[in-house]
Structure 1
């Protein structure tokens, strides 16, 4: 329960540092907040519409799609002018959304319950247009269709890649993954199979269930991120803005239709119910999340700690860990028995060693060292594999250490925390660091991995000042990465030119926000406050 002291503290909190709103006239009435935030919400809505328009020219389409033969798609996708125009609209739209996200917090000022309807309105206005775009920045949705077809044809997606299908290239998946086994759990396989069945394998129709699943994940986050944050004394409205309205989340979950959206929504809902002592329901939801994407197995030991409670010793902890693991594995085993695939997803979890990204520290180190060793005639590839395996091993050890060393009662435990909310907050904070270890020590860091960490840290509190500025910089960086990474361009149009346009627009706009925009540049600098609103005379 949120105390009055908590409300007083949070209403006076700032966006950039604790003293910024000391003498501010930030609006506190709902009508005033709505009016103050109107321009920011509208700006984000326009940005979202521009992204939809841009997706016509550079969004991902299956080569078998009938849309390619329609006049508007022909104009937008087959000529350099059309492609570049769509690229410009896409970039400006996403960057307007980024600015809107920053500005809506400035316009709201102090965080209080009156801001919640305004934030929800912004979420709907920014997210709904993206439901009608072509998949952006990722072809994973087409891989989902291929995996659904594997299920429809009775093939095991844990041992067969999409290339086992006839004419698989017409489905539109990334060639990098056509030979790879499916890394998803049984629940997502059923969703994929259902999408293919209801659409009669028409790609455009098969995308709709994936969009709806992504939207369902965002709705779960919009409901349970504020509730989970409030349990820990963190302002729920600020958490809704920071963790759910974030443009990197909306771009990668709605525009890209990633299954991470439903995965994350289910695990956050599950953690909430375990925290309020409804452990069975919570563990069922967490298991459903694992059955989407098994990375959320990491949450299980921490869910067991929440179930055990602050006063639990080693005996009760071991009992709750065993019950948590038993219930979850039992449900997963039942799902594997029904689909006949068992625990086949366990063998498909490891990312192929050849895949890495330059801004992933372990990937960069492993491949740089491997290249240098190979340059001198040494075993470059084995060295790369060893470094990447070491990163995985260290992240696994970090998970165990963070779970075992959570404060409690018993021999060898750190000093106990008798306060239940504080204990729960500590457990979830340790869980956030466990996920961070897995992400940072992986050879690949995708933009949507940042969203996992943002949500987990948000519900336990992201402090004003350096921590919040870090979120701003990471949000700007991963928006830039999304805009300049995967654009669908026909082979006769120079991709270097199109990507150069995207890079120029994105870098220039972000530099403007950080250094020159009179409204937003203060957010990226130390010891600066938010825009102080003055009432109209």
Structure 2
């Protein structure tokens, strides 16, 4: 039972409605710069013609988009101040905020990413009996009309069989608009956020941390909602399923947990990383090496048996294994391995050599290192240590669950940081895992604030849909100016939010306080 701590109910409402207004602004902004397929009937309607072909309207949409995201960020920050006690009364407030902030986003055109249109193309491959693990979307006639990012049109799908079935289902919907085909993906993204809203607090409470604060931190975060709902990413369902599976595994319902995690792998196979840690949860804190290896084998066996059955049904077997490398074919300037490897390769090119093998080699070495780190985190014995540390008043199984989950969070961190490409939604994976194992006030929480601000900036200035005759340089420059100035205001000059970015004495509201 958590202690009752007061919060200012009169001010929570203003924060909730600020976030709702920001979400509505994202919806309105998406009409002008959200992604539309060339074959969409919407693009031929007067409203969309005006919003997307007139430079002034496109600029207005861009400004609306930026201001909406900034307003949501401010509302999220203000909620933490209004609910600083994180008592049980905070739960209904946070759930109300989640509903109101998500609802308008469910109606936006896809923002910040065209992956949702790639899902449609992959569904068409399934519909035409083409193997999506060996064929890119470019194998389809007039594939460009579907609206996918050309960067991925020749790449095989990196998704699992469960997601392929959903993609196939989406293209069977009788409608002449790609936006109608997006509905199953939107519902899947919503389902993922709902699962996170249920199981992130449960896991946090199990580990001795305040569940309401964890819900606010990981699920209501604008970076989460923008990337999972507005961008319609399947990472939402992947994360919801894996967090649910980890909860059941930590509460001694290992087989149920394995099935949930396997379902997550069948969305995106990256969550294979979670399997050895599920095996550790199943084995328990006092297991010897024989029991650990037996249950690791059982965990892998159950999971791969289910995946094999799915592969047998769709006739594609384990084709997804070969496609695991698909996301590693590009790099980002803010990914340390990406910028480091490409810079060194460019230097070799400048000196007259061939820098491509150098860059590729660095990326492969980084990948091997990440695998070794994951193995070390899974195999090195967990020592809970003497009482008096984190969660000292918790039973041993819960302290052990916390230690295993924390290691898993670091395992995913290693994989993300040592990849040449770090997408904004990859950071949401880490946020969810760390929130369930405790993010303290002070510098850890400020780090979350700064990273959230950074990836909001990346989203607002990266992928905007602008017709060729409208200057992308002008639109992006406006987005950069509005986003940067807005974030500087919130972090430096806003009297209400700037204090959150300053060094101060941490409190203990992250922890569950017993009455």
Fold agreement, TM-score > 0.5: yes
Q: 2:492 aligns with which of 508, 515, 535?
A: 515
1:489 alignment partner in structure 2: 466
Q: 1:527 aligns with which of 494, 499, 504?
A: 504
1:375 deviates by: 1.1
Measured against aligned partners, the alpha-carbon deviations of 1:226-255 in whole angstroms (never above 9, x if no partner) come to 001111001000000001000000000000
2:115 alignment partner in structure 1: 140
Against the structure 1 CA distance between its residues 116 and 367, is the aligned structure 2 distance closer, same or farther, given a 3 Å change threshold? same
Can you give the 5+ residue segments of structure 2 that lack an aligned partner in the other structure? Answer: 385-391, 508-515
- TM-score, normalised on structure 1? 0.91
Alpha carbons 2:155, 2:326 under 8 Å: kept = no
Matches of 1:173 and 1:396 in 2, distance apart?
31
Task: Check if 1:271 corresponds to 2:237.
Answer: no
2:419 alignment partner in structure 1: 442
Against the structure 1 CA distance between its residues 264 and 354, is the aligned structure 2 distance closer, same or farther, given a 3 Å change threshold? closer
Task: Check if 1:294 corresponds to 2:269.
Answer: yes
Matches of 2:63 and 2:448 in 1, distance apart?
25
Equivalent positions of 1:300-311 (< 5 A) are 300-311=275-286
Matches of 1:488 and 1:332 in 2, distance apart?
37
Task: Check if 1:332 corresponds to 2:307.
Answer: yes
Q: 1:255 aligns with which of 226, 230, 245?
A: 230
Against the structure 1 CA distance between its residues 199 and 99, is the aligned structure 2 distance closer, same or farther, given a 3 Å change threshold? farther
SS at match of 1:513: helix
Equivalent positions of 1:47-66 (< 5 A) are 47-66=22-41
Task: Check if 1:90 corresponds to 2:90.
Answer: no
Q: 2:456 aligns with which of 468, 476, 479?
A: 479
SS at match of 1:221: helix
Alpha carbons 1:312, 1:408 under 8 Å: kept = no
Alpha carbons 2:328, 2:419 under 8 Å: kept = no
Alpha carbons 2:193, 2:237 under 8 Å: kept = yes
Equivalent positions of 1:26-425 (< 5 A) are 26-27=6-7, 33=9, 35-200=10-175, 202-351=177-326, 354-407=329-382, 419-425=396-402
- TM-score, normalised on structure 2? 0.95
1:351 deviates by: 3.8
1:47 deviates by: 0.3
Alpha carbons 1:311, 1:408 under 8 Å: kept = no
Against the structure 1 CA distance between its residues 529 and 406, is the aligned structure 2 distance closer, same or farther, given a 3 Å change threshold? closer
Alpha carbons 2:157, 2:326 under 8 Å: kept = no
1:311 deviates by: 1.1
1:433 alignment partner in structure 2: 410
Measured against aligned partners, the alpha-carbon deviations of 1:248-286 in whole angstroms (never above 9, x if no partner) come to 000000000000000000000000001111111110000
Matches of 1:408 and 1:188 in 2, distance apart?
38
Matches of 2:380 and 2:189 in 1, distance apart?
35
SS at match of 1:321: helix
Matches of 1:252 and 1:287 in 2, distance apart?
23
1:354 deviates by: 4.9
Matches of 1:352 and 1:268 in 2, distance apart?
22
Alpha carbons 2:112, 2:460 under 8 Å: kept = yes
1:175 deviates by: 0.4
1:107 deviates by: 1.1
SS at match of 2:450: helix
2:431 alignment partner in structure 1: 454
Matches of 2:84 and 2:291 in 1, distance apart?
45
| Aligned-residue CA RMSD (Å) | 1.4
Against the structure 1 CA distance between its residues 419 and 101, is the aligned structure 2 distance closer, same or farther, given a 3 Å change threshold? same
Matches of 1:354 and 1:348 in 2, distance apart?
11
Runs of 4+ in 1 over 4 A off after TM superposition: none
Matches of 1:399 and 1:232 in 2, distance apart?
22
Measured against aligned partners, the alpha-carbon deviations of 1:297-340 in whole angstroms (never above 9, x if no partner) come to 00000000000011111111111101100000000000000000
Equivalent positions of 1:464-475 (< 5 A) are 464-475=441-452
Can you give the 5+ residue segments of structure 1 that lack an aligned partner in the other structure? Answer: 13-25, 410-416, 531-537
Alpha carbons 1:45, 1:126 under 8 Å: kept = yes
SS at match of 2:481: helix
Equivalent positions of 1:2-41 (< 5 A) are 4=1, 7-8=2-3, 26-27=6-7, 33=9, 35-41=10-16
1:407 deviates by: 1.1
Matches of 1:492 and 1:142 in 2, distance apart?
23
